[in-house]
Amino acid sequence: MPFQKFATLAELPPGSVIEILRGDDAYALCNVNGDIRALSGVCPHQGGPLGHGAMEGQLLTCPFHLWQFNSATGACDFNEAIRVPTYPVRVENGEILVDIPDA
Ligand code: FES
């Protein structure tokens, strides 16, 4: 699957996270001091919308029960075995491109 445009840098200021929907799938797009990261938008706990969570440094906090995930690796902060899938990101001309797997 080629990289797909998810958003522009203007839509994702440092310290923010937004939800992007593609078909039936939700993704969480984060900006950690200018480093853009893409994760699945579905929390592995009970399916909370990670794209509606909050950033604290590089940790992404789920809005439902406040589990936190490393936005670079997807690992849960209290159990590394629990992981959110992460996806490659490229930024070109102010556009954020994400390589998501084929449906
Ligand atoms: S659904 Fe995300 S912490 Fe419970």
- In this predicted structure, what is the pLDDT of residue 1? 66
| Nearest residue to 31 (alpha-carbon basis) of 9, 5, 63 | 9
Which of 45, 59, 76 for a ligand 1 pocket mutation test, highest count of atoms within 8 Å of Cβ? 45
What CATH number does the domain located at 4-91 have? 2.102.10.10
Q: What is the pLDDT of residues 27-81, one digit of tens each?
A: 999 999 999 999 999 999 999 999 999 999 999 999 999 999 999 999 999 999 9
pLDDT band at 103 (very low <50, low <70, confident <90, very high): low
- In this predicted structure, what is the pLDDT of residue 101? 84
Cβ of 77 below 6 Å from ligand 1 = no
Q: Say what the pTM is.
A: 0.95
Q: What is the pLDDT of residues 9-22, one digit of tens each?
A: 999 999 999 999 99
Distance 58 CA to ligand 1 centre (A): 18
The DSSP output letter for 100 is P
